[in-house]
């Protein structure tokens, strides 16, 4: 998608002064976003929320194909 961590965070509603650091910590597994933040990140990335709970890449891909982004089941 070509977004920087800062841009992703800002588009998801995070404070611009901490957006990059927070997204980096989410990516590294140091911290977990709360559900509302995860929902916002999923919206920006065009992924269903369930995608981020998958415990394998294969399951994440299956979820992504099964649930349409923007549907009530996906976000």
Here the tokens at position 27 are 């990516």
- For residue 51, the tally of other CB atoms under 10 A from its CB is 20
Those residues with Cβ within 8 angstroms of residue 75's Cβ, 6 or more apart along the chain or in another chain: 39, 42, 43, 48, 49, 69
Residue 69 · residue 75 · CB < 8 Å:
yes
Instruction: Report the range of poorest mean pLDDT among 1-5, 28-32, 37-41.
Output: 1-5
Domain boundaries, the chain: 5-66
What number does CATH give the domain 5-66? 1.10.260.40
Residue 40 · residue 13 · CB < 8 Å:
yes
Predicted pLDDT at 36: 96
Q: What is the pTM of this model?
A: 0.80
Average pLDDT over the chain, rounded to whole?
Answer: 89
């Amino acid at each position: 998608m070509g977004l920087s961590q800062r841009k992703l965070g800002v588009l998801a509603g995070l404070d611009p002064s901490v957006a990059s650091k927070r997204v980096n910590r989410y990516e590294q597994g140091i911290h977990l976003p709360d559900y509302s933040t995860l929902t916002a990140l999923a919206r920006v990335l065009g992924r269903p929320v369930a995608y981020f709970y998958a415990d394998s890449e294969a399951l994440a891909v299956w979820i992504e194909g099964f649930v349409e982004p923007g549907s009530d089941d996906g976000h």
